[in-house]
Amino acid sequence: MSFIPISVMDWKEKNVFITGADGFIGGWLTKVLVEKGANVIVIVRDMKKKSALDLHGIKDKVTVVQGDIIDYELVLRALNENDVEYVFHLAAQAIVGVASRSPLSTFESNIKGTWTILEAARNVSTIKGVIVASSDKAYGDQDKLPYTEDQPLLGLYPYDASKACADILARSYVKSYGLSVAVTRNANTYGGADMNISRIVPDTVISSLQGKELIIRSDGTLERDYMYIKDAVDAYLTLAASLAREDIKGQAFNFGAGKPVSVLDLFKLIIRLTGREIEPKITGKATNEIDKQYLSVEKVQRLLNWSPQYSLEEGLKETIEWYKEFLANNC
């Protein structure tokens, strides 16, 4: 399926600052903005052996600032010296299991990192807009499904709570200082070049392609909303292109497919698409997991005219092809 982005902003020669560009979603966003002719500045704390910038072949096409997003003076200098117009703040400790084991480092990265970016942005005159990545996990466990943006943020596990805090901080900078900010609350995002192999899609796809045992760590009944990475990138660009509108500033938006899928059904679809015939082993050992989480996308459809362009099957087909090629070239 061809990828036709909804975003209509001309990004050519725009100065864009991205945190988390060496990660999965940030790497894809950086790739697309580079292809659109933007001048992209990224901040990277640890130079990985092979980051998303390497996987996409764009490391030499961006300006890399080495340092930590919690370093206010460094961030401020990077924004000022590069006349940054738009900030996409995606950097976070994003693995739920790691967050549960290491809450302090998670809070420092996800909460302090967010207020540092926001405070620096409000003190730079060239800034036109800031997009802050929250998460559907910020909603926590709710009685009402699907989640709508007017529901309270009840995230109580470390990762969920950190995203709820970042979400509120971001919107407070609009109310308190007039900074042009909007928040994304994305569904589980999947696609090629996700090297956090503990995540369900890359783990299942790679294991299936390599003929390994497929293990479901939950009981298989957990339901989630899954969004393909190309739809996620288009969501970020569509929202950023709309930040000049007064009815968009300070708003949070759900981006997802709007369709719950059980873990077991996801496994079965991947197994079918990879051509395997095997029943996954269900261990039921996963903890700190909410039973059902999925999003209403009515608000983004109404205000931004945005809808996902990929079905789950279409997105998984492209994902599987990406990992097939990656494994063929690296194993």
The reported pLDDT for the residue numbered 1 is 39
Tokens read off for 192: 């090629």
Nearest to 240 by CA among 4, 24, 58, 14: 14
DSSP-derived 3-state class of residue 223: strand
Q: Which tokens belong to 152?
A: 């309270």
Beta strand pairing status for 252-255 and 129-133? Answer: unpaired
pLDDT by residue, tens only, the chain of 331 residues: 334 444 568 999 999 999 999 999 999 999 999 999 999 999 998 877 778 999 999 999 999 999 999 999 999 999 999 999 999 999 987 677 777 788 888 899 999 999 999 999 999 999 999 999 999 999 998 999 999 999 999 999 899 999 999 999 999 999 999 999 999 999 999 999 999 988 999 999 999 999 998 888 788 888 999 999 999 999 999 999 999 999 999 999 999 998 999 999 999 999 999 998 888 888 877 666 778 899 999 999 999 999 999 999 999 999 999 999 999 988 6
Residue 216: per-residue pLDDT: 84
What the chain holds in terms of domains, given with CATH numbers, is 15-189+228-256+295-309 (3.40.50.720)
pLDDT of residue 3: 42
Residue 310 catalytic?
A: no
Catalytic residue among 159, 190, 226, 294: 159
Place of tokens 């079918």: 272
CB environment 228-238: b (16+ within 10 A), e (fewer): bbbbbbbbbbb
User: Within a 10 A sphere around the Cβ of 251, how many other Cβ atoms?
Assistant: 20
pLDDT given at position 288: 64
pLDDT at position 331, please? 65
